[in-house]
Amino acid sequence: MGWLRNFLGGEAGESSAAHPPLPEGAGDFLPGGMARGFHASAVVRGVAPETGEIIFRSGAGASLQSQAEAEAQARAHAELHLATALAGTSSQRDTYAYAIDRAVEPVVSDLPFAGGSAGRLTINSYGALIINARAAFFADVDTRTEDTAPPDPAADETAAARLRDVIAREPDLSFRVYRTHNGWRYLCTSRPFDPAAAETQQLLEDLGVDRRYRVLCRVQRCFRARVTPKPWRIGQRFPEVHPTQTVSRRHLERYLRRGAGFASAAFVDAAGRSAAPSPEIAAVVSCHDDWCAALSGRPLA
């Protein structure tokens, strides 16, 4: 695919301004956009039927209503993790998306468009800003397993071949293609998608998306895309943020200043049929590219 060869051997892009400003008048960013949240954790134990081994599993819960609801949710998640472990399957992979309801993350802003809201910009568990898109399809494909791993041209070409195959099979689809620190990101601009629909899950799988993310889309009913640097990649301490925790504007601005010299995704090219996106998807594209510094040419983090 031409854009892959051009990007790996060429220049990243044009210069752009710093990250967008935070909303005016907001001193703190509140869980779920509300004044208070509740957080709980729980640990349960069980006995492996074949070996008699004692197994412990934990769970987390969050609520905007009450501590009791958060505690009940935490125990339910712990029980789910335990049941999955006792069944001999991967609890980390299969229950990742159930661990915390993303609706209670601290909210930075809505993503408005003429017809309503396209989603929200929230703060995740390690302090980065995340787009939670209602219907704008995001797919992240990692082509190296860790930050320090060398580039893997074969994995990159496999990713490109998967995208080519999808477009050949569904020529009405169009994607914006971005380079990320450890791989690629595709943002579909041709039409909205239901995150939980079978066709969405199949498309994510066909593109080579991690199964945990596919489960997350289905369970949380949104598409998530990180738009600011991971803190440890810019020399900042890991700031654990509980989903119901209020984040101060001062803290967030300090992190954004530290990451201002980096991009989270670099726009490479458009792939597939060329068409103007709907107002909802256009709002997500604009927010994503501005916050990611996608045309800046800055190093990826």
141/163 Cα distance (integer angstroms): 11
The first and second tokens of residue 256, run together, are 């954004």
Could you identify the residue written with the tokens 């990320």? 180
Could you identify the residue written with the tokens 């079978």? 198
Rg value, the chain, Cα: 20
pLDDT at position 79: 75
Q: Which amino acid is at 111?
A: L
Tens digit of each residue's pLDDT (9 = 90 or more) over 43-55: 778 787 877 778 7
pLDDT band with cut points at 50, 70 and 90 for residue 77: low
267 with 294: CB under 8 angstroms? Answer: yes
pLDDT at position 36: 58
Query: Is residue 22 predicted with pLDDT exceeding 50?
Result: yes
- According to DSSP, the β-strands at 38-47 and 54-63 are antiparallel
For residue 181, CA distances in Å to 17, 68, 231, 288 come to 20, 40, 13, 16
H/E stretch holding 25: none
Q: Of 177 and 85, which is predicted with more confidence? A: 177
Alpha helices in 11-152 (DSSP H): 67-86, 91-95
Q: What percent of the chain has pLDDT above 70?
A: 77
Which segment of 9-13, 150-154, 157-161, 243-247 scores lowest on mean pLDDT?
9-13
- Entry field: residues in the chain: 301
Tens digit of each residue's pLDDT (9 = 90 or more) over 92-107: 444 444 445 566 789 9
The first and second tokens of residue 6, run together, are 């051009």
Q: Give the residues across from 184 on adjacent strands.
A: 141, 179
Q: What is the pTM of this model?
A: 0.77
For 12-17, what is the mean pLDDT? 43
Question: Closest Cα partner for 106 from 87, 124, 93?
Answer: 124
299 with 181: CB under 8 angstroms? Answer: no
Q: Decide: helix, strand or coil at residue 88.
A: coil
Could you identify the residue written with the tokens 């209020």? 246
Q: Helices (H) and strands (E) in the chain — how many of each?
A: 8, 12
Tens digit of each residue's pLDDT (9 = 90 or more) over 93-147: 444 444 455 667 899 999 999 989 999 999 998 999 999 999 999 999 999 989 9
Summary mean pLDDT of the chain: 84
Name the DSSP letter for residue 27.
S
Interhelix angle 153-169/2-9, nearest 10 degrees: 150
Q: What are phi and psi of 256, to 5 degrees?
A: -65, -35
pLDDT at position 62: 63
136 with 281: CB under 8 angstroms? Answer: yes
Q: SS3 string of 232-285? A: HHHCCCCCCCCCCCCEEHHHHHHHHHHCCCCECCEEEEEEECCCCCCHHHHHHH
End-to-end CA distance of the chain: 25
